Structure 1
Amino acid sequence: MSDNYNILIILHTEYERSNFDEGIEHKSNNIYYFGENKYLQTIPKRLKHNKIFSPSKEILEKHIINEIGKLNITFDFIIANSELTLMPAAKVRQELNISGSKPDQVEKVTNKVVMKNFIKKSGINIPKYLSLEYALKNKVYAEKLFKRDKIVLKPINGSGSEGVYFYENFGFLYQEISKLNINIIDYEVEEYIPGEIYHLDALVCDKSVIEYIPSKYINTCADFANGEPLGSFQIAKKKQYLELLKKTINALDIEIGAVHLEIIKSTKDDEYYFLEVANRTGGAEIRTLFSEKTGINFSASECSLQINKTIIYNSRKKRNSYFGFFQIPGHHLNFEYCKIVGLEKWLKHPNLLKMTCLDERKKISKTITYRPDKLPVSMTLKASSPSTLEKLIKDIFQDKEIQILPTMNETNYVK
């Protein structure tokens, strides 16, 4: 990890969310961080680094190019590990001829219409889909394609099921679309597939899967966006999961880094269908639990693979236990401060790894987030088998004693 490279890291959140020094040697490399001042100030002073202040809250490639142009430095790598920074980083690489993913590659893993255009050629099942703009201009064709199917309206770019809407059929959407305050060109229409959703999280190098962990959601990210709890638990590996990962990676030309693939097992035909993929780590507690299971530092390895194709281990020993998480959102609540009651028995539970509760003095985030430190409650748990872990998390879901109550003289109550 010590090759004396010039490395630009785009920092779009607090440093502790990524801990780049675990995967990138700071002493021997020339590290430059680009981002807002409030995020740059969170970088530990012990690390040798340089700061480049962004003139805007929005990370734009023109700002990056302009600022680093003042340095007279040729960068070897640009590291970006959030959905919002992948494309700006790719455009800078292309403009300055820096190695790594370019815009056409990043579009395949961020644009849901483009990615499905490539996926359908691979033989993987996909829901019927159209860009919203095309569907509205070609109403007869769209109605013929979707028939009377329930459909989903979702942003073409973005994550976390923010801005997702469900309709009984395309006709209902067509009637209601004018009521939505959205930009038509930014959305797609997709067939709703009933079933259970899984996520496959992997590390990839030279298009080969180094390690992966399959997991199954309890509830969905769309449920979470609507104010319901979300859970996930690791399950046993299957040849079919690995094949789906490999086909996706090859179809989208994913060369290196982390992969978060979401699939659904349809209750209609018992087949797996592609939902979406990201060339980055998943959110919530996925990174932590991947590391617990495999011994691999997921976040650090995502970075180190891009620099010198190495894996960073916390431990060389894989664990036989299975790991999962449970989270309660707060963005939907109509009060700003909260306290959580009814957690006593879970705090003492032998299968609990960690529980994070929002400080009563901190405001509840009003935007959808999976960050444990921003949620009313986030738990990580372990068990000896997937079935035991699933039952444990479902028991937490059904525990009526867990309540979110307003504090600071706020009297409204919403659970």
Structure 2
Amino acid sequence: MRILILNKNKFGRMEYARAIDHQRHDVTYAGTTEYDDDIPKDLRCERFVLERGAPVVEQLQPWLRAQRPFDRLLARHELLIMPAAELRAEFGIPGMLPDLAARFRDKVTMKATLERAGIRVPRFVRATELPEHVPWQGKTIVKPRDSNASQGVYLCDDYDSARRLVGQRRRDDHAFADRYEVEEYLDGPIWHVDGFLFRGEPVAVQASRYVRTPLEFEHGNPLGSVQFPYPELEAWTLDCLHALGADTLTFHLEAIITADGPAFLEVAARCGGGYVVDMFRRRTGAHLHSLDMATEVGGELATHLLESPAPNSFNGMFLFPGHTYGGAPVTVDVPAGTLTAPVLVKYRIFPEGKPTPTNANYRPENLAFSGLVSGPDPAELDAWLEDLLSSATVSAPGDA
């Protein structure tokens, strides 16, 4: 089998070698230099080095036309989901095609689809079609239609403020409205539900509650997450996925639990960031990246990759952002005993003196301070994380 992988991830983190037999299959990795350099030098594979910043589809189209057909095209990064779908459609490669991919990338498309199915979503309008009045009051969100990790999201006091913001941004960027939507703000804790679906049936699903919010993380505050038992939310998530037409895929769905029950926020056909893959593996025995890829290559559920989960344990994570320090080095101070706490499975502190990254993401190597926790009582993990998020500090030179 000939397999093309659009690679924008660490090789070991994806466990490509676990998912794909590189002696049996002819595998080509297409990625920029930093990801190409991360592939083991002795691995049997071909490489196509992508130019950073140039459209992936445009770079690969002429090359693919000169190649023998590929049997599979794999992409694990959210920003590559739609390019992969477009290339599959053009070159007749099985897998997710653009129509389905749009329902897992475009927040307007996904919410409109679910609203038609009778699933509650925040009321919303396209930024290109803002009416004078909307049927909600109070706080209003302005967000990109295809972003992740709450990047580019604005929280406004009311709809009029949101409308003015869109107008101001359109004057500086004529394409702004095409990329954005406006929706009502809903109050309540935010949860994420992660899992893998095979032929419409759940293989493994796990709900987790955020400690603080991804929007706060985007603006420089730490974020946490803890797994909890919540079968009703997991069942509701499957209803959302089926309404969107999901068949076989990894998913990361976010919902807000309001006084009237769950409301859909967004969903992606990929794994959650930070330590979500580790958390999920410990709880369910499924490593989402390799399970998904091996299943797509083999055409059957890769049951041989399912492991025994850690018994009677729940898992969580904490993420202190690194992108809000303007590239400056940082110093991390944690309370005594934190790094030897029994619940702490592993942690990572950004090296002192090294410039911090300026792009927002949840990858541990780009965070000021992050880690994975585990224990038998999710409420105790939640309390431990809340205490850590309130007590640990990150500072840059010149901070008062």
- TM bin, normalised by shorter chain, reads over 0.9
Measure how far apart 1:54 and its partner are. 2.0
Measure how far apart 1:185 and its partner are. 0.7
Q: Per the alignment, do residues 405 and 56 of structure 1 end up closer, same or farther by CA in structure 2, a change over 3 Å counting?
A: closer
The answer (yes or no) to whether the contact 1:78–1:93 under 8 Å persists in 2 is yes
Letter in 1 for 2:94: S
The answer (yes or no) to whether the contact 2:141–2:162 under 8 Å persists in 1 is no
Which residue pairs with 1:164 in the alignment?
Answer: 153
Is structure 2 residue 303 aligned with structure 1 residue 307?
A: no
Which residue pairs with 1:225 in the alignment?
Answer: 218
Letter in 1 for 2:359: T
Counterpart among 173, 176, 195 of residue 188 in structure 2: 195
Is structure 2 residue 140 aligned with structure 1 residue 151?
A: yes
Which region of structure 1 is more displaced relative to structure 2, 161-170 or 57-66?
57-66
Is structure 2 residue 357 aligned with structure 1 residue 372?
A: no
Aligned length: 394
Aligned counterparts, 1:275-290, within 5 A: 275-290=265-280
Letter in 2 for 1:150: K
Letter in 2 for 1:316: S
Alpha-carbon distance in 1 for matches of 2:204, 2:306: 15
Is structure 2 residue 63 aligned with structure 1 residue 63?
A: no
Query: Secondary structure of the residue that 1:324 maps to in structure 2?
Result: strand
| CA deviation profile, 1:33-85 (whole Å, cap 9, x unmatched) | 112123212101232111012245334213212122233x1110000011111
Counterpart among 220, 242, 259 of residue 250 in structure 1: 242
Alpha-carbon distance in 1 for matches of 2:86, 2:261: 37
Is structure 2 residue 105 aligned with structure 1 residue 104?
A: no
Is structure 2 residue 78 aligned with structure 1 residue 83?
A: yes
Alpha-carbon distance in 1 for matches of 2:233, 2:303: 22
| CA deviation profile, 1:228-287 (whole Å, cap 9, x unmatched) | 10000000132x223212211211111112110101011xx3311000001111111101
Letter in 2 for 1:194: D
Which region of structure 1 is more displaced relative to structure 2, 24-33 or 342-351?
342-351
Which residue pairs with 1:45 in the alignment?
Answer: 41
The answer (yes or no) to whether the contact 1:254–1:279 under 8 Å persists in 2 is no
Alpha-carbon distance in 2 for matches of 1:385, 1:312: 30
Letter in 2 for 1:131: R
TM-score, normalising length from structure 2?
0.94
Give me the identity figure in percent: 26
TM-score, normalising length from structure 1?
0.91
Alpha-carbon distance in 1 for matches of 2:34, 2:327: 26
Measure how far apart 1:333 and its partner are. 2.0
Letter in 2 for 1:88: P
Q: Per the alignment, do residues 177 and 123 of structure 1 end up closer, same or farther by CA in structure 2, a change over 3 Å counting?
A: closer
Measure how far apart 1:297 and its partner are. 1.6
The answer (yes or no) to whether the contact 2:207–2:234 under 8 Å persists in 1 is no
Alpha-carbon distance in 1 for matches of 2:89, 2:8: 21
Which residue pairs with 2:257 in the alignment?
Answer: 265
Which residue pairs with 1:386 in the alignment?
Answer: 378
Which residue pairs with 1:298 in the alignment?
Answer: 288
Structure 2 residues not aligned, in runs of 5+ = none
Alpha-carbon distance in 2 for matches of 1:132, 1:312: 47
Counterpart among 398, 404, 412 of residue 394 in structure 2: 404
Counterpart among 94, 98, 103 of residue 89 in structure 2: 94
The answer (yes or no) to whether the contact 1:257–1:305 under 8 Å persists in 2 is no
Letter in 2 for 1:395: D
Alpha-carbon distance in 1 for matches of 2:192, 2:12: 25
Alpha-carbon distance in 1 for matches of 2:106, 2:304: 30
Alpha-carbon distance in 2 for matches of 1:312, 1:159: 32
- Cα RMSD after superposing both structures: 1.7
